[in-house]
Structure 1
Amino acid sequence: MSATEAGGSQVKSAVRTVELLEFFAHRPGMHTLAAVQEAVGYPKSSLYMLLRTLVELGWVETDSTGTRYGIGVRALLVGTSYIDGDEVVAAAGPALDRLSEDTTETIHLARLDGTDVVYLATRQSQHYLRPFARVGRRLPAHSTSLGKALLATYTDDEVRALLPERLARHTERTVTDRERLIEELHLVREQGYAVDREENTLGLRCFGIAIPYRTPARDALSCSVPAARLTPAHEQRIKHALFDARDRLTHATRTL
């Protein structure tokens, strides 16, 4: 929703501030005033004053020329406080550690936010693997095992209401048809886990499982492994470890 579409109960300046911070959060790097204005559509004079205020408060930073703008350190502090104060993240620590030890692969805990999953915690692979997802990063739910595991806890009609008919393609293997994805979610419900078959990153396969401490689920665990190293036996170990981690984390979150 743009600031001009905000309802009467919303304060326009607050809506614009949030929209501006979200603009920077989704577009790393520094941006000119003209580029920001073109993206958000605010009057240039009021946008400039808002940016200067956010710079003074530390939410936005400028370069040495004072003409380019990017996200500030205050945003990092707030994001970190969200992770530090989240009860699920705290409860998940032992289960993530055990899953990492059992699989020796990269482990993620993520939360569904709209049509994306947001990464909340990570354990890096014991093998050499270039990091591809960090805490706070957003990825589309339809192309990740985490997202598909979570979408499978919704009804078909709820998934239709959430996702567009045509889904964004990230690799040649991405499922881009919503109805085909829904068919896959039927299988996810049957087997209890989801698979990303190089749909988000070529050469990388992922297995995801939802944590059912609430319905529909909002958090999931995943294990990522290079396709070249994934043998049938290793795949079975990963699936077994994921189910074990799900049970451990379900028990740990039973009072949340």
Structure 2
Amino acid sequence: MADEGPTAETRSDRGAGSGVRGVKSALRTVALLELLAERADRPARLDELAEELDVPRSSMYQLLQTLVDCGWVRTDTTGSLYGIGIRTLLTGTSYLDSDLSVRTIRPYLDEASDALGETIHLARLDGPNVVYLATRESHEYLRTISRVGRRVPAHAGALGKALLAERLEGEVPLPEGPLTACTENTLTDRAALVADLERVRERGYAIDREETVTGIAGFGFALRHDVPAVDAISCSVPVARLTEEHQSRVVSVMREIQTKIETLLSRVSGAPDWR
């Protein structure tokens, strides 16, 4: 990776292709919130944030104080540490509650979880990453780190690979430079990833063998009610108890759930066609 960190203008450039010039203050605000969200339980100091986003210290202080007053950022009793604020939770839950696809799919995650006794996920492609939208945890093993809202490189797991395989090779949204490794098994060689995506297309689902989390295998299935698919479901299983028989059972159940969801969502009308 380059030594120079991303600026406020480079962190939040998803709308760059729209032809509309970004508003500098808005870009800074979004970049700051994204940075604080990425840091999770690691609060940041004013100087750290100003340096990371290449924003003057005085401007960063004013922005932070405004967001603290509005509840989007919180600070400690000394006023020297900053973290993500409670208002962001309202926005996140509103996104999930307002999404018809997520509401429709949730009961089928329960059905798959009950049938398999394993952890089931729903995720959505967001640029070169997937974001977890819903999770049903297994009671048989400790939690994985795939909490709702978590962002994972799409190339590093079954959910992402299932969605990348739905796109032509030239349209796969991968970042420039080396691919990030989540574990020693993550596919970071582009040629190897391309070959694996071809196997996903032939097989009809993606397999992740300890590529996202050590000790966990995943099986990902794209939901093709959208073209190309943007949502996928997966089943995660500890490799220590993944027999061939159980793998066949997982694939069979998840394919059935995939078909049910696609059939139901293809009949749903009236929802906005989000871009």
Provide the TM-score with structure 2 as the length reference: 0.89
**Alignment match of 1:172 (pick from 184, 187, 211):** 184
CA distance in 2, matches of 1:103, 1:4: 45
Would the aligned equivalents of 1:164 and 1:178 in 2 still touch at CA under 8 Å? no
**Alignment match of 2:156 (pick from 119, 135, 143):** 143
Deviation at 1:3, TM superposition (A): 4.7
Report matched runs for 1:11-30 at 5 Å.
Answer: 11-28=23-40, 29-30=42-43
Higher relative contact order (CA 8 A, sep 6+): 1
CA distance in 1, matches of 2:9, 2:136: 42
Report matched runs for 1:113-124 at 5 Å.
Answer: 113-124=126-137
CA distance in 1, matches of 2:9, 2:247: 50
Deviation at 1:211, TM superposition (A): 0.1
SS in 2 for 1:162: coil
The answer to whether residue 47 in structure 2 is matched with residue 34 in structure 1 is yes
CA distance in 1, matches of 2:203, 2:215: 24
The answer to whether residue 51 in structure 2 is matched with residue 54 in structure 1 is no
Which amino acid in structure 1 is aligned with residue 29 of structure 2?
Answer: T
Report matched runs for 1:63-212 at 5 Å.
Answer: 63-159=76-172, 162-164=174-176, 166-212=178-224
CA distance in 2, matches of 1:185, 1:104: 28
Deviation at 1:95, TM superposition (A): 1.2
**Alignment match of 1:44 (pick from 57, 74, 80):** 57
**Alignment match of 2:243 (pick from 220, 226, 231):** 231
RMSD of aligned Cα (Å): 1.6
Would the aligned equivalents of 1:165 and 1:179 in 2 still touch at CA under 8 Å? no
Would the aligned equivalents of 2:8 and 2:32 in 1 still touch at CA under 8 Å? no
SS in 1 for 2:74: strand
**Structure 1 residues without counterparts, runs of 5 or longer:** none
Q: Provide the aligned length of Structure 1 versus Structure 2.
A: 255
CA distance in 2, matches of 1:252, 1:62: 45
Deviation at 1:4, TM superposition (A): 5.1
Would the aligned equivalents of 1:165 and 1:178 in 2 still touch at CA under 8 Å? no
Provide the TM-score with structure 1 as the length reference: 0.95
Query: Per the alignment, do residues 140 and 3 of structure 1 end up closer, same or farther by CA in structure 2, a change over 3 Å counting?
Result: closer
